[in-house]
A = this chain, B = another copy of it.
């Protein structure tokens, strides 16, 4: 296969930026140079990804003053305390406002590096170089950055856009199968909420994706980035439609918080959460049994859980109520009126939510 580079644009007015998708892009000096503002570059990665790809990227950045910060790997390190290490290095090395931060890793590294870039001297450049499927199709696009708080996920953060997103799909070759599945959760989500044809394509191609077929992966990443960037362009700060991207996430966050961060992968929790949202949509009479079954089947084919862990419904409700999607006490959920047709609703009987939760605790 010839070397494939797809380039998309996220349209956000003066904050617009390109997404590059292709093989071996971490070796592409031209792409990185185009989006670095001065000689000072800090690459932030973690203990898992750095041994695999840091040297490749540092070699690509020859000619720049490159510093490295390697953080411990895992959602539980996505905290203000660990974030400080990035600020410490930037200050120790006297990096100025013209510097560029590059996030080399998954969603945690992207969120933390982006938040550090948003806050350092009130905002410096950054580039996302996501190395997991989840971060390639989800967190690297859209400008959400931040860290967790012991009482809630992503509670401290900023909306901050990168200068560019460089998606090297070759990095998926080293991704554990469980994490590939977790990324597929968001890919499937994009189909479910916005695009029935893309959903059908995923049904046909799930086996190729799981076998790491490069062409299939590039197509899936492109499709997901297009859907996500369209939604984000229309609603950068989540005043309305952007909340559709939270499909499965209110349930999913409750699972993650209830089980302790990191025990379930985010994508696994979202997989189960999407099944719960589909179940609830079905119980509301909005989704046919066949549509619910197709959703469950695709999530299962991706190697994801289709039901939540054993948490009492009362605990589940409690966990859902600290979610950011709660406005003035009223719970809002993303629900379905069909595959490709999601909506945001606070107009449902609480009874149906309870029924949904109870259907799993039999």
CA distance A94 to B331 in the complex (A): 13
B123 and A159 form a contact (CB under 8 A): yes
CA distance A154 to B91 in the complex (A): 12
Question: Which stretch of A166-174, A182-190, A298-306, A319-327 is in the interface?
Answer: A319-327
- A192 part of interface (Cβ distance < 8 Å): no
A119 and B39 form a contact (CB under 8 A): no
- A7 part of interface (Cβ distance < 8 Å): no
Chain B residues near A88: list those with CB within 8 A. 149, 151
CA distance A133 to B154 in the complex (A): 36
Q: A93-110 interface mask toward B, CB cutoff 8 Å, 1 = contact, 0 = none?
A: 010111000000000000
Given contacts A39-B328, A155-B87, A158-B158, contact A122 B146 (CB under 8 A): yes
- A351 part of interface (Cβ distance < 8 Å): no
From 148 to 179 in chain A, residues with beta carbon under 8 angstroms from any chain B beta carbon are 149-152, 154-159
Given contacts A38-B328, A92-B151, 14 further A-B pairs with CB under 8 A are: A80-B84, A87-B156, A88-B149, A94-B321, A97-B324, A98-B327, A119-B119, A119-B157, A119-B158, A120-B156, A121-B324, A122-B146, A122-B154, A158-B158
A118 and B149 form a contact (CB under 8 A): no
A149 and B91 form a contact (CB under 8 A): yes
Q: A101-136 interface mask toward B, CB cutoff 8 Å, 1 = contact, 0 = none?
A: 000000000000000001111110000000000000
CA distance A151 to B96 in the complex (A): 13
B159 and A94 form a contact (CB under 8 A): no
B120 and A155 form a contact (CB under 8 A): yes
- A237 part of interface (Cβ distance < 8 Å): yes
Given contacts A38-B328, A328-B96, A328-B98, contact A158 B123 (CB under 8 A): yes
- A144 part of interface (Cβ distance < 8 Å): yes
Interface residues of A (CB under 8 A from B): 38-39, 80, 84, 87-88, 91-92, 94, 96-98, 118-123, 144, 146, 149-152, 154-159, 237, 321-322, 324, 326-328
Chain B residues near A122: list those with CB within 8 A. 144, 146, 154, 157-159
CA distance A122 to B237 in the complex (A): 9
Rounded to whole Å, the gap between the CB of A318 and the closest CB of chain B is 10
The one of B38, B80, B123 that contacts A237, using a Cβ cutoff of 8 Å: B123
**Whose C-beta in chain B lies nearest to the C-beta of A38?**
B328
**Whose C-beta in chain B lies nearest to the C-beta of A151?**
B91
CA distance A321 to B91 in the complex (A): 12
CA distance A80 to B81 in the complex (A): 9
Q: Which 9 A-B pairs have the closest CB atoms?
A: A91-B151, A122-B157, A119-B156, A121-B324, A96-B326, A38-B328, A91-B149, A122-B159, A94-B322
Chain B residues near A327: list those with CB within 8 A. 96-98
